[in-house]
Amino acid sequence: MAEATSDVACLVSKRTSEIRPEPHLIPDTSSTTSTDDEPQVDVSVVIPVFNCERYLEETVGSVRAQDIGEGRYEIIAVDDGSTDGSLETLHRLANGESDLRVFSIPNSGSAAAPRNQGVDKAHGRYIFFLDADDKLAPDTLRKTVTTADETGSGVVLCKMGEFGAGKRAGNVPSAAFGATKFAVDFVESRASSTLGALKLFRSSIIKEHNVRFPLGFVVGEDQAFTMQAYLHSPHVSILADKVYYWARGRGDGTNVTSTGQPPRKHLKRILTLIRTIVDNTEPGELRDRLLRRPIIGSSGVTSVFGKKMLPAHDRLEREAMLKEFRDLVTPLWNPPIRDHGLPVSQILVDLAIRNDLDEIETVSQLLLEKKPLPLTFDSDRNQFVYVPDTGASIGDLRIKPEATLETISSVGRSLKIRGEIGIPGVEVASDSAQLIFRHRKLGTKVVFKLDVSRTYSRSFGVRARFTSIVDLTKFNDSGVWEAIIKASWSSVVLRQPFGELRSNALETCPILVGDPTEAIAFFTRNETLAVDIGPTENHLDPVTSSEIQIIDNFQVGRSAVLVLNGPCEHLDSASIRANGTAKEKPAKLFIHSTTHASIVASRSLTKRQGWALRLTDKEGNVVTLPSIGVSR
């Protein structure tokens, strides 16, 4: 997918589609008296600007609000030929201030040129790239600079978050930000999963190795830049303890990733990244691992020869694209790269290596029609293969079954699970299947055989429906057990974590089993189904006083009945306390549905001027509801 942090927030859809060569820098001396021989500062914040007039004050203000200390930073704003009042706003913000230098260049069509100009003009020991509609937390520059100084890292990544009324065209990166890490390898730490430029870079690395943003395309121009910086850094550091960089969600279609780009531009992007990797590495494991992304990854070959190719390019253009891709990728294509791709990517690259454009067009048409690629079982090779119109079949595919969770419910001390399983493009149902729960720490397993005799056929292939009663008394060890589907087609046996694919109507809130609770079924961070026997962890989100409300209050004899509305299904007990007293008196709790409950308490308590209702859920989370606004 497109790298979220490569979203140049100030490039709008009205931009010219023709990317021009990098323009000559035109300094705007009316708003700065700075010269290139000024003393070096700690960090230069480079902001490319295009038609972001309404956001600039907040963005620049977030830099000026940094706690790094006066004189330790500079702001370099490069206007890329804005047609609104962005340049005038920058003049005003820089007037009488020494921390902001403003430059203007003719419109270049992407953030690459203004960022490159910002790099050339930077005085800082470090460079931090900030988009013109985003903002920084007050301690971002101090924390990233201190981290770089203390660790010697060439790049410091900081956790990103979203703000604003709209939704960003792409998600902010998350894979690398599970924990804060200092002086780590950029591949092993998963920093390589985020190739956006919204980070801190050591200036000496950028300038000594002439690391610059490549020109000529809009989306992904920062991927090659960041990859080259990674490869010349001794190590990187990752700050994940909080959000340091706030990326604005606009939702108005003016983000660059909203505009998209044709497959020919994606080809240029991935070929540029491939060349950057090859030029800065030796043949071997590291190179192969890095090449997986631009060749076989989700934003690799399928972005070029996938569903958008046929509508966007004629036959001559497709032939030229295939030649460019084939010439560069053929000598690099090997099993360590191929084995990590999904079948459609494996098939497309294999066909490109064969120079089979006709079959690539067939695959592209199937993807355009949202149809799976047809797969056939080859009994001689004991595997599923793709059979093109001409040439040998394509095998050694990374086949994954699609196991969908339809419903899950609690029945006594068991879970009732319904689902279906199949392989996209395969017209044969599985011979047998099992639902396996594996203990996360001990590795022990509990196995439930599935009846897969009920099948149905659709355009995506054959599916087998199943129902399983998971008896939780068979789980002898407390702790988390994760669900796996194991299924066989003839002699092919496939396994897949279960629960990631699920019905849109399925509720994902935890399911409590037993009273008191003996187990909780829940979805892990990886979105797979698991069961916590014991339970040994907390899984319920604490209810807040704004989510649950007292919507009615009436009297029955000497008792008062309080009617609740909100997330009530996991409430376990209730008590009531009069204001000014420390003693709480128990109240009776009745759960009517997932969203309604009632409390029966002493009428004498609720008649007082002030009281508070205390609710506790089955994991001990507590919410207190005051009597304010409740009629008596």
Say whether pLDDT at 242 is over 50: yes
pLDDT value of position 301: 97
170 pLDDT band (50/70/90 cuts)?
A: low
φ, ψ (nearest 5 deg) of residue 355: 65, 35
303 and 268, same structural domain? yes
Say whether pLDDT at 148 is over 90: yes
Say whether pLDDT at 34 is over 60: no
Residue 367 three-state SS: helix
- For 582-630, the pLDDT digits (tens) are 788 899 999 998 889 999 988 887 777 688 899 998 888 888 888 754 5
pLDDT value of position 338: 97
For residue 535 the two structure tokens come to: 């339970």
**DSSP notation for 560-615:** EEEEEESS-TTEEEEEEEETT----EEEEEEE-SSSEEEEEEEHHHHTSS-EEEEE
DSSP state of 341: S
Residue type, position 120, single letter: D
Say whether pLDDT at 147 is over 60: yes
321 and 215, same structural domain? no
Any domain includes 321? yes
- For 330-364, the pLDDT digits (tens) are 999 999 999 999 999 999 999 999 999 999 999 99
How many independent structural domains does the chain possess? 4
Any domain includes 544? no
193 and 280, same structural domain? no
Any domain includes 390? no
Nearest-angstrom CA–CA distance, 527 and 506: 13
Say whether pLDDT at 15 is over 70: no
Any domain includes 541? no
- Give the dihedral sign, CA 135/139/142/144: negative
75 pLDDT band (50/70/90 cuts)?
A: very high
Nearest-angstrom CA–CA distance, 571 and 250: 38
- For 102-135, the pLDDT digits (tens) are 999 999 988 999 999 999 999 999 999 999 999 9
Any domain includes 600? yes
Q: pTM for the complete prediction? A: 0.81
73 and 172, same structural domain? yes
67 and 21, same structural domain? yes
Any domain includes 392? no
77 pLDDT band (50/70/90 cuts)?
A: very high
For residue 328 the two structure tokens come to: 């560069």
Q: What end-to-end distance do the CA atoms of the chain give, in Å?
A: 57
Residue 335 three-state SS: helix
User: CATH number, domain at 553?
Assistant: 2.60.40.10
- Beta carbons of 483 and 468 less than 8 angstroms apart: no
pLDDT value of position 254: 55
249 and 122, same structural domain? yes
φ, ψ (nearest 5 deg) of residue 113: -60, -50
pLDDT value of position 630: 54
Lowest mean pLDDT among 218-227, 253-262, 495-504, 535-544: 253-262
The arithmetic mean of pLDDT across residues 251-275, rounded, is: 79
pLDDT value of position 10: 41
440 and 520, same structural domain? yes
pLDDT value of position 607: 76
Say whether pLDDT at 32 is over 60: no
- For 397-431, the pLDDT digits (tens) are 999 999 999 999 999 999 999 999 999 999 999 99
Lowest mean pLDDT among 99-113, 212-226, 385-399: 212-226
Residue 315 three-state SS: helix
264 pLDDT band (50/70/90 cuts)?
A: very high
Check whether the bond before 294 is cis (ω within 30° of 0).
Answer: no
396 pLDDT band (50/70/90 cuts)?
A: very high
167 pLDDT band (50/70/90 cuts)?
A: low
Average pLDDT value for the chain = 89
Nearest-angstrom CA–CA distance, 127 and 328: 32
Say whether pLDDT at 235 is over 50: yes
- For 484-519, the pLDDT digits (tens) are 999 999 889 999 999 999 999 898 889 999 888 899
What does the angle CA 471 – CA 568 – CA 473 come to, to the nearest 5 degrees? Answer: 10
**Domain membership of residue 615 as a residue range:** 549-626
Any domain includes 202? yes
117 and 93, same structural domain? yes
561 and 439, same structural domain? no
User: CATH number, domain at 58?
Assistant: 3.90.550.10
Give the residue from 233, 259, 285 where a domain finishes.
259
44 and 94, same structural domain? yes
Any domain includes 208? yes
329 and 415, same structural domain? no
Give the residue from 190, 224, 259 where a domain finishes.
259
Nearest-angstrom CA–CA distance, 2 and 266: 10
CA distances from 434 to 299, 398, 424, 446 (A): 33, 20, 19, 10
**DSSP notation for 24-76:** PPEE-GGG----TTSPP-SEEEEEEESS-HHHHHHHHHHHHT-TT-TTSEEEE
Say whether pLDDT at 35 is over 60: no
Say whether pLDDT at 36 is over 70: no
Give the residue from 504, 533, 562 where a domain finishes.
533
158 and 28, same structural domain? yes
206 pLDDT band (50/70/90 cuts)?
A: very high
Lowest mean pLDDT among 54-58, 218-222, 302-306, 308-312: 218-222
**DSSP notation for 152-183:** --SEEEE-EEEESSS--SSPPP-TT-SS-EEE
pLDDT value of position 4: 37
User: CATH number, domain at 509?
Assistant: 2.60.40.2440
Percentage of residues of the chain with pLDDT beyond 70? 91
